[in-house]
Amino acid sequence: MSSNDYREKNQVALKHLENSVSSIVEKASQLRSQLDLTRQHLKQMEEAVESVKKQDGKPLETLRKLRTLEKDNRDLVGRLDQGRAMLDRLLSKIKFIEGKS
């Protein structure tokens, strides 16, 4: 294998690794945003529960809001799980690529 072939293979591998890392960084950023949303929903749920405890006149409205927030929270948790799985796959690919280099 010539020196140029070796350099070209390394450049291709490096570019692939850079793309993979960029994807992971972007996905991690998305996961942070989703985690922030989940935390906000959790805070709203806690506030709704406290509101039900203190409220005399509108417990049904508050319970409806709580159910909606719980559903939103489950959806966000599902998306976070999917994101974690994707990050795990990307990290595995990077480790595999690094092992080939």
Domain extent listing, the chain: 3-40+71-100
Query: According to the model, what pLDDT value does residue 100 have?
Result: 74
Residue 62 near residue 97, CB atoms below 8 Å = no
CA-to-CA distance for 71 and 93, rounded, in angstroms?
33
pTM, full prediction: 0.50
Neighbours of 34 (CB within 10 A): 17
CA-to-CA distance for 11 and 26, rounded, in angstroms?
22
Residue 42 has pLDDT above 80, yes or no: yes
Backbone phi and psi for residue 16, each to the nearest 5 degrees, phi listed first: -65, -45
Query: What confidence category does residue 3 fall into, taking pLDDT thresholds of 50, 70 and 90?
Result: confident
Give the mean pLDDT of the chain. Answer: 83
For 57-99, write each residue's pLDDT tens digit. 677 777 788 888 889 888 888 888 888 898 888 888 888 887 7
